[in-house]
Every structure is written in structure tokens, then in C-alpha cells.
Structure 1
Amino acid sequence: MGGLPEGWAWARLGDLGEWFGGGTPSKKEPDYWEGGDVPWLSPKDMKAERLADVQDRITERAVNESSVRMVPRDSVAIVTRSGVLEHSVPVALVPFATTLNQDMKAVVAYPGVLPEWIAWALRRYERRILDECRKAGTTVASLSTPALMSMLVPVPPFEEQQCIVAALEENLSRLDTASATLKKVRSRGSALQKQMISAVISGRRRAVGSESDADDFISQVDEQVARVAGKKRWAQVRNPEVTGLYEIPAGWCWRTLGSLCLDIQYGTSAKTSPKSNVDDVPVIRMGNIQGGELDLRDLKFLPASHPDIEKSILRDGDLLFNRTNSAELVGKSAVYRNRMGVAVYASYLIRCRFAEGVEPDWVNMVVNSNFGRRYIASVVTQQVGQANVNSTKMALMPIPVPPPAEQREALKVLRDWESALTRPQLAAGAAVKRATGLKSAILRMAFNGDLVPQDPADEPAATLLARIVAEREAAEPARKAAKRAARPRKATVAAAATKAAPAPTPAPSASVQQELFDQ
């Protein structure tokens, strides 16, 4: 495990405190839930490093009659089963007594171990927990309890724990405040961009002198679609149901997406692989659609001789939309351009090829707008954790259509606006990334013993841990006797709520300071 500072020792997580599991009282028993005032902590509550409250409560009857246990206040809670464990491990200090959902664990630290130290240890070694404790092959990501309990973490002397925790909280609180402000800047920029798009596609933001009539243009589109698409159903449905939709300017018209298309086609289902030959053709997949654009950094390939290449080859201006994904991502779209090189597309994408005069970027903007997202949400179907939308439903999406010149002018206005937003957005994003790196660096210093000065007079952690073991062994006969006595559980709620909290930590003996925006 590597060396430790003088006076520190390695310890199993399971040996640092009493661990509690959770459960869910039966929903068929209204008396377990209605009017309850006992907190019931679940993964959806784990949104802060120190919790202030929970969303759900149960009754004392549920505590007495179900599998849930009261966890004393000042515990450390950790999510052990959730999709979020694919990438992170939510950890929080809980300053109040609570019960737990079955997807949670909580630990109440033994005397001599600060709960804050355990919490910071879980955050510091998050990556190791995911690598070594996450179960493989399960439907929903989860952590192995034995593996988690057996994981070794460093423990300093108690006095040094207090100093390190105080230094961490002083420095990281400032860092977290700065990061929150930066994230608000990015969120505000995204909100402004969405507002601008809504204004453009509704015609509220029109270029001066751009007013014209789309009738002649639409007649030309209809002729092209009738000539190329023939009697295909998606080409025949031209006028969408517009009841309840917003007003569009005079000279614009509502049309279905399909009535603007010469072709709507699913992609290749052929098995792809990493590039092996210089002539291999890249295959654009659903993960390549990011934020309304194509991200081509992660590609798979097909041999140039594959029979699907010819029918799936992309042309400049083809719109690709994602027909299968999570509910928040399904239906997202992007436009392919020739400058990206020769490419084909996979079967989870649908290609729309437009009539001349229809700007693909205009349609793409509508599909990815709040208006487009609301339409897609209204027509998706859910199957085994995936949301799906087929070509027929996408073809019926209402599209506000201005004349070609006005489409181009509106897109130019929007690009200028986005360019002005991009600079502060990129700066904020880079600063958030630096803040994340700085937080990791501070945590490494803390757990390497480099954050605060050490005092050789402090009681060594090995002595502390040995005393914890001795006290537990001495208390074991009494604990077993109490368990055999099966005393009533009614007192557990009040007892947990009144259990003494650890003494406050002293002021830090040192702190780490670093300007967030230093280049």
C-alpha cells in the first residue's frame, strides 16, 4: 500500500465504525408512511456533502415493524446501488438521525475516528472504490459490501485528523463556492442560448428587411419531394396539427419534417471494429451526436468493400437523429458536412436528406430546441430502460419554415450570438476543470500527510486502533446479551436522535491556498 507518515496506520473501512444497512417499509401499509416524521434517506437525497434534510419520511411504527434501522446522527452515508456508480460514489455527512433505503449504507464512527475523516477518505479513494468494489455483470451498478468493508484507508492520529479535516473544509469550501459560481455562469449561458434559439425559430428575432413569402419556395419543395419520394407516407403528410403551437410570422408556414425530405433512411447494422486499414470507412454512431453537432473523436469502422457502404454513404447536409437512447438523449440530431470526410452511419441513427432550399442547420436547430424536445418527449416509447422514437413519428414533427433567405439570415444571427457566448463559456469550463484538479491535489496532500504539520507527541494511530478493537471486544458480551433480550425497538428513534455528537474540530494549523484562475 505504500509508506505512511510517522504515527499513521492502515485500517479497514469496516473497522472504523458501526455500519448500517437499509430497507423499504411496505408501501401497502399506509401507517408506515402517512404522517411520518422519521427521515428515510435514499440515493435521490445525496446531492450535497453535508445533508440538511431528506425528501421522504416514515412513521415510528415502520421503524418498529420493518427491516429499517435507526442510524444515529453524525453518520456518513454512501450510495451502494445506483446507476450513478458507473462514474461516481455519492458520499454525505448526515447530522441528524435517519433510516436508510436498501440502496444505501451508513457508518457511525468509533470514538477516536472523525466521521469527517471517513467521508473525505471515501471521496479521496472514489476511483479505487469503483475499480475494486463495484460488482460486474449486474443490471444496475452496485458496490460489494465485503469488498468495501475490506478496503484499506490511512488513519492519522486523532489530533491530526482534526487539523486535516479543518484545513480541508476551510480550503475546499472556498474552492466549492468558486466552482458553484462558475457552473452558474455556464448554466446561465446555456439558458441564454436556448432562449435565443426559441426566439429565432418562432420568428420573434427576425433580421430587418428579411420579410418575404415562403409560398413559392414551398411549392418547389413539394415538387421535388413528389418527384423523388413519390407516394411514401412521410412525404405525403404535409400540414401538421398546429393547435396550441406558437404563432409564426406572416410568410412562414408549418410543415412536417417528412414533407421537407427527399429521403428518410435507417443506417447500417453491420458489425463495426477499430480501424485496421487506411481505406476503412468511419461509421457515425449515436454517441457521436453531442450538443447538436457531430463529435468524431471516437469512431468505429467498416471495410471499404462492405456492401452496406454504398446505401449508407452520407452526403453534405444530411441530418442524422438518434432514434434509441436514454429519454434525455433520444431524438438529438446533428448535420453531416463533407469536410468531415467520407462516412456512413449506424442503424441507431436515422438520416434525413432534404429538398433543395431547406437549410439542414435550420431543421437541426428546431429539432434540438426546447420546442423540438417537447415534441420528441410526447412521442417516445420506453423499452427496457431505453427510449425509442421511429422515423414515422419524427417525420410528423411540426417544423416552422421561413423562406430560404430568412433561414440563412436567422442562422447567421444565431451563430454571431453563440460566438459571443462561447468565450465566457469556454473560460468558465476551463476554470471548473482546474478547480476539479486542484481539489484532487488538495485531497492527495491531505492523505499523504503533507497538508498540516505533524506533532510527534500525538498518540499514534496504531495505538488508537488497538484501543478501538479492545473496547469492541470488551463490549461484545454485553451486546450479545442485549440482542438476546430482544428489547423493544420503540426507544431507538429517540436514542439515535440524542446520541452525543463529536466535539467540534479546532482551527486548522495550516491551510492551502491557490488562486483558481492562475494560468
Structure 2
Amino acid sequence: MELPSGWVRATLGELGVEAQAGFASGRHNRDGLGIIHLRPMNVTRAGGLDLTDVRYISDDTDRRVVDGDVLFNNTNSPVLVGKTALVKSKIPLAFSNHMTRLRPSPAVSSEFLAIQLHWLWRVGYFRSVLKNHVNQASVPAKQLLQTPIVVPPIEEQQRIVEAIDAQLSRLGAADEALAHAKLMAPLQIRSLYTAATEGKFTARVIAESLPDFRKRREEIWKSVNGNKKYKIPVVADISVSPVVPGGWEVLSLEELSDPIRIIRYGILMPRVKFGGTVPYVEVKDLLGCSLQGKELHLTSEELDEKFAGARIRAGDVVLAVRGSYDRSAVVPDSLSSANVSRDVARIAPLPGLEDEYLQIYLQSRFAQQYLKRHARGVAVKGVNIAAIRAMPVVVPPLTVQREIIECVQQRQTAIDAAGEAVARSIRRSATLRQAVLSRAFNGRLVSQRSGDEHASLVIERIRTEVEASRGAEKVARRRRRVKPADVSQAVPSTFSASYETVQQESKL
């Protein structure tokens, strides 16, 4: 790349930048007294310092950083090496042995140096110069001083920094809005499901009556088991009542499920090292509340046969019950005869209850609050099968269920489209950020001015001063190495003659 007039390429060492490595603190002060000891994780991805999680050490003036210093992560995880931050703090700070303190010379401003080094990290420059150790990677201070950067005139550096700040501030505000929009998407879907299952999408009155699910369930039982005693399902737990529109009914989830293929857990410890042939659904597979296109782990035929009662069919609904209970999905045709893990419950809805409606209901606010209220455990919480069977489900007539499903699908398509637009904008923002920095370091972000002093002149003055300083230091070392002269040779001749006369007289 051809540089604009007045710009030069130079290494940090040629620019007279001072580099000093940090130190290992040994032990941090647990009482929070002393000064803050900065570590690589305190440097943010945006090139700033995050002081929310810090440690303290006793005062050490040799490893202090002051306002205007530049901190470079020189060793640790390869992902962290190269992250650079400009110190803007009036409080005492020290830096660890995983960091290098840089103090710029008059040829380059602190802000410009910090931004350019951080940009080099983002584009992956420092990964190409890492020295790998056993568990860490590093860029030693001596090697860091060999890093080449572009150097415009010092006046133009200030204009570039101001332009970058202005551009990135606007992008930062846009990023915050996009991040908020991204966080709102799941809440919008939850609100959509809640409104749908509370009857807010079906204002018209439908004369259709609900089927007798209890009777239908008992008939299915008798058709399979004959006169064998029928187990009456639990009634709905309505300790907290859901919203029930007119013409809808509240039943327990067990009353709405198949009496033969009952609500139950799946395989205990389904993972096998090799020889797996039967796919099974885990909690992680339910991320996004869909099983479409998921690549499932495989278990053995022996385990699948042992837990044959937990096999799933198309149209079943599976619900995460341990570790996470906000995930559920309808089983697609492609996963018929698959199985589920012990952390997932299989629900087979009766005819008259649409699987898509049940999935929408399980993701509604009321159902999620019910599951949260019944979750038990300390490290990993879960909901037991008894609580799931007693979950109250508000069921509308079949025609209304289908209207709800269609309405929800249409609105969710719009929400998904908006989410994709937000994701594209986030990617575009990252690209624009890189483009701003790229233009800054090839001279296209701000205009050049003829009155600016050429950067090479400043560097030449620094080089002359450094060489003069080195020459003076060599002379001083040479003088310190000179041996003292012989005392007898340094005595004046007249003094020697007088001394001999005195010696002769004393002999007489």
C-alpha cells in the first residue's frame, strides 16, 4: 500500500517507544487494599479497560501505569494476545506479567498507537508472530518493538483519532440499539405465544364444543388393555389459575395425553462410545424450540430396547425437564422411532389437541412460570414428571387451535424476518467498524494538510537524540573502565629532588 505524503512506516523501536514488561504479583490482597493489578481480561474487545472485576496488590511504583500509557497483552491465551488499551484513569494502577506497558515518543500519540495496535490484533497480525509455550502464547517486549506501524504527521494523527471516535461512537450507539432488538426477539415470541393461548387472537365466538378428552382417553386405554383397571389421571394443579376464555377448558397435561404412551423420561445415560445406531433427543437439541435439521447423537439398540416406552413418534411433543425447562419441540416425521434422554420428557397428545398448539402453550408465559415454580435442585434444577402431568393446559376448540397456529406462524415469520435483519445489521456494523479503521491507517479517513510536519523529520530527530544518548553512554562507560595512573610517575621532578636531599641528610 502506497502511503500518503508525510507518512512513513516504522517499527515501534524506531519510533522511540519504551516497552516494559509487567510482573507477577505472587499473592493478591484479599482485603481489597492496595492498588488495582490489571490483567489481560481487563482489556475489552473494544480497546478499553473494564475495572468491574479487579484484584489488588501492595504498592509497586516500578510497575505503575499512568494516564496516557498503552497496555499490550503480551502473553496468555492466543485469543487475548495483542488486545491493547489506552489507559485513561486518574487512580493508581499496576500491570501484570502478562502485559507490556508502552510509553510513546513525540512521533506517535498514545491514542493513535493504541488504536492501531488494537486494530492489528483484530485483523490477526499478532497470531502470525506468536511464540508458543506449553500452555500459553506470547509476544516478548523485544519482539513487540519490531512491530511495524504506519505513522502520519502528529497533527494528522490527532485528526484521525477524532474522526475514529466520532465514527465509532455512532456505530456504538447503533450496536446498542441492535443488541436491544436482538434481546427483544425472544420476549416478543413469548408474548406472542402468551397472547395466543389467552384467546387474544380469536375474538369471534365459535359454537364448536370441546371433545370429552377424559372419555376419549379411557376408550383408548380399554381398546388396548380390555378390562384391565384404568388409572385415572391427575387433575390440573390450579393453585395459580391461568386465563381461561369463554368456551375453553382447563385440563391437566396427563388428561390430554395418550394413556398407553404416557408422559415419561427417556434413557438413563444414553451416550455410547461406539456402535450407536438409534438417535436420541437431548436438551441441547431443543435449542431454538425445533428439531428440524438437528444432528442427534446415537445410542445403542440395547439401551433403546430397554427404554422402548420412551420412543417418540411424529406429532409428539418433547420438553426439556432438567438443566433447562424453556425448550420444547414437535417431533418431525424424520425422527419417528428415535428416543429421548433422561433429561427430556415425551408427551403424546390425544386426538383433538393439536401438537403445534401444545408446543405454543408450553412456551407461553403461564406454562413457563408453572415449570419454574415446580423446578427443584441446587446446581442443576429440574421438574419432575408428577408436576408435568399436573400442569394445567387451557384448551380451546379444535377450530380455534388451528386458527391460533396459523396466526402465530404468520406473526413469527415476521419476527424471524426482523431478527434476520438485525443479525445482518450487526454483521454490517462489524464490517463498517473495520472499514473505518482500515481507511484511517491508509490515509483515506481525513484529508492531508501541507502545513503538517513530515513524520520522517520527527523520527529523524528521535534517531539523532537516541544515537547521541547512546554515544554519551559509551563515553561514560569507557571512562569508568580507565585504570588509575601510577603514583610515582605523577610526582613532580622538583619534589623528587628535594626528597632525595632530605634522605641523604638524615643518613649523615
TM-score of Structure 1 vs Structure 2, range by shorter chain: 0.5 to 0.7
1:223-275 deviation per Cα after TM superposition (whole angstroms, max 9, x unaligned):
65798899999x844322x3344443344444444554433231472437899
1:352 aligns with 2:353: no
Name the CA distance, whole Å, in 2 between partners of 1:104 and 1:219.
74
Query: Which letter maps to 2:349?
Result: F
Tell me how far 1:162 sits from its aligned partner.
4.1
CA contact (8 A) 1:70 1:98 kept: no
TM-score (norm 1): 0.61
**Correspondence for 1:198:** 194
Name the CA distance, whole Å, in 2 between partners of 1:175 and 1:362.
41
Q: Which residue of the other structure, out of 244, 250, 253, is the alignment partner of 1:248? A: 244
CA contact (8 A) 1:323 1:350 kept: yes
Q: Which residue of the other structure, out of 293, 296, 304, is the alignment partner of 2:293? A: 296
Name the CA distance, whole Å, in 2 between partners of 1:146 and 1:82.
7
Aligned-partner SS, 1:156: strand
Q: Which residue of the other structure, out of 82, 93, 96, is the alignment partner of 2:89? A: 96
Q: Which residue of the other structure, out of 110, 119, 132, is the alignment partner of 2:103? A: 110
Tell me how far 1:72 sits from its aligned partner.
3.3
Tell me how far 1:368 sits from its aligned partner.
3.0
Structure number with greater CO (CA < 8 Å, separation at least 6) is 1
Aligned-partner SS, 1:400: strand
Query: Which letter maps to 2:454?
Result: A
Query: Which letter maps to 1:266?
Result: G
Report the CA distance shift for 1:88/1:351 in structure 2 as closer, same or farther (over 3 A): farther
Name the CA distance, whole Å, in 1 between partners of 2:163 and 2:195.
48
Describe how 1:111-130 pairs up with structure 2 within 5 A: 111-112=104-105, 114-115=110-111, 117-119=113-115, 121-122=117-118, 124-126=120-122, 128=124
Aligned-partner SS, 1:354: coil
Aligned-partner SS, 1:361: helix
Structure 2: runs of 5+ lacking an equivalent: 472-508
Aligned-partner SS, 1:401: strand
Report the CA distance shift for 1:463/1:221 in structure 2 as closer, same or farther (over 3 A): farther
Q: Which residue of the other structure, out of 303, 315, 318, is the alignment partner of 1:317? A: 315
C-alpha RMSD of matched pairs (Å):
5.7
1:457 aligns with 2:446: no
Tell me how far 1:418 sits from its aligned partner.
2.0
**Correspondence for 1:238:** 235
Report the CA distance shift for 1:324/1:273 in structure 2 as closer, same or farther (over 3 A): farther
Aligned-partner SS, 1:316: coil
Name the CA distance, whole Å, in 2 between partners of 1:130 and 1:256.
58
Tell me how far 1:422 sits from its aligned partner.
3.5
Report the CA distance shift for 1:272/1:368 in structure 2 as closer, same or farther (over 3 A): farther
Give aligned pairs, total: 441
Report the CA distance shift for 1:458/1:71 in structure 2 as closer, same or farther (over 3 A): closer
Report the CA distance shift for 1:247/1:161 in structure 2 as closer, same or farther (over 3 A): same
Query: Which letter maps to 2:424?
Result: A
Aligned-partner SS, 2:455: coil
CA contact (8 A) 2:314 2:335 kept: no
1:435 aligns with 2:429: yes
Report the CA distance shift for 1:21/1:380 in structure 2 as closer, same or farther (over 3 A): farther
**Correspondence for 1:269:** 270
Structure 1: runs of 5+ lacking an equivalent: 139-143, 475-519
Higher mean displacement: 409-418 or 44-53: 44-53
Name the CA distance, whole Å, in 2 between partners of 1:373 and 1:391.
14
Name the CA distance, whole Å, in 2 between partners of 1:227 and 1:136.
70
Aligned-partner SS, 1:334: strand
Name the CA distance, whole Å, in 1 between partners of 2:234 and 2:254.
7
Name the CA distance, whole Å, in 2 between partners of 1:374 and 1:190.
16
1:362 aligns with 2:357: yes
TM-score (norm 2): 0.62
Report the CA distance shift for 1:402/1:180 in structure 2 as closer, same or farther (over 3 A): same
Tell me how far 1:448 sits from its aligned partner.
6.6
Aligned-partner SS, 1:209: coil
**Correspondence for 2:166:** 170
* Structure number with larger C-alpha Rg: 2
CA contact (8 A) 1:322 1:332 kept: yes
Query: Which letter maps to 1:363?
Result: L
Name the CA distance, whole Å, in 1 between partners of 2:338 and 2:314.
12
